[in-house]
Amino acid sequence: QVQLVQSEPEVKQSGTSVKVSCKASGYTFTSYYIHWVRQAPLQGLEWMGMISTSNGGTNYAQKFHGRVTMTSDTPTSTVYMELSSLKSEDTAVYYCAREPPGTYRFEYWGQGTLVTVSS
Amino acid sequence: QSALTQPASVSGSPGQSITISCTGTSTDIGAYDSVSWYQHHPGKAPKLIIYEVTNRPSGVSSRFSGSKSGNTASLTISGLQAEDEADYYCSSFTSSGQYVFGSGTKVTVL
């Protein structure tokens, strides 16, 4: 069955970086896009960007341009999301989600990774 | 890109029907049939319940249905059940090639 398993919670200092992983299984890794979505406390869902696992192409939300980097490692079927220059407002649960290319839907989601940024 | 507009909360009694609206613009909802809806129970991963405006993934109850008119999409839950109590989010692809979510609606079953 399709699974997206994310890395453990992280606690980071302001100004540092965090790298969250999303390991896929149960399907052909390179046939689907992976998106990253976050939810800050008491806030709604926020789209951060996506990566094509077939060619590494990325598309980042304008809000995160220059601070986010998404990468894909085919041998391990793992996608990474690195967010730099962390601020307290980046405290959130970060989710990865799978999209069949060109379908605009996030059909499977990871369990979420809590990132806490302390000053 | 501003979030799509949803009512903060909607409530109904068991067995009733409720509708959640999701209002965008001509550059997102109005431009594409790409609206999806997600059910989100706190502490769990969001779940896709509607895609491409009206389609239900396999295994999703037929009590969930979607529609769209102009720049506004809607999710209807019929025969409301206690397990439907959750947060609901719409999303849409945009003309800038990105995605936007709605502000979220908390559904309460009275």
> Can you spell out the DSSP letters for B7-70?
-SEEEE-TT--EEEEEE--TTTTTT-S--EEEEE-TTS--EEEEBTTTB--TTS-TTEEEEEET
Chain B residues lying within 8 Å of A103, measured CB to CB: 51-52
CA–CA distance, B47 with A107 (Å, rounded to integer) = 7
Residues in contact with A42: Cβ distance below 8 Å, sequence separation at least 6, in sequence order: none
Tokens of B47: 């779940």
Closest CA of chain B from A119, distance in Å: 25
Chain B residues lying within 8 Å of A111, measured CB to CB: 45
Contact B28, B93 (CB under 8 A): yes
Residues in contact with A75: Cβ distance below 8 Å, sequence separation at least 6, in sequence order: none
The pLDDT averaged over each successive group of 10 residues in chain B (110 residues) is 93 97 96 97 96 97 97 98 97 96 97
Residue B101: which of A46, A104, A112 has the nearest Cβ? Answer: A46
B103 in contact with chain A, both atoms CB, cutoff 8 A? yes
Chain A residues lying within 8 Å of B45, measured CB to CB: 95, 109-112
B93 in contact with chain A, both atoms CB, cutoff 8 A? yes
CA–CA distance, A101 with B77 (Å, rounded to integer) = 28
Q: What is the pLDDT of residues B11-36, one digit of tens each?
A: 999 999 999 999 999 999 999 999 99
Task: Output DSSP code: residue B3.
Answer: P
Residues in contact with B78: Cβ distance below 8 Å, sequence separation at least 6, in sequence order: B17, B63, B65
Residue B48: which of A35, A45, A107 has the nearest Cβ? Answer: A107
Name the pLDDT band for A32 (thresholds 50, 70, 90): very high
Mutate to test the interface with A, among B1, B98, B106 (most CBs of A within 10 A): B98
B48 in contact with chain A, both atoms CB, cutoff 8 A? yes
Residue B46: which of A61, A103, A109 has the nearest Cβ? Answer: A109
Query: Reduced to 3 states, what is the DSSP secondary structure of residue A93?
Result: strand
Q: What is the pLDDT of residues A63-119, one digit of tens each?
A: 998 999 999 999 999 999 999 999 999 999 999 999 999 899 999 999 999 999 998
A22 in contact with chain B, both atoms CB, cutoff 8 A? no
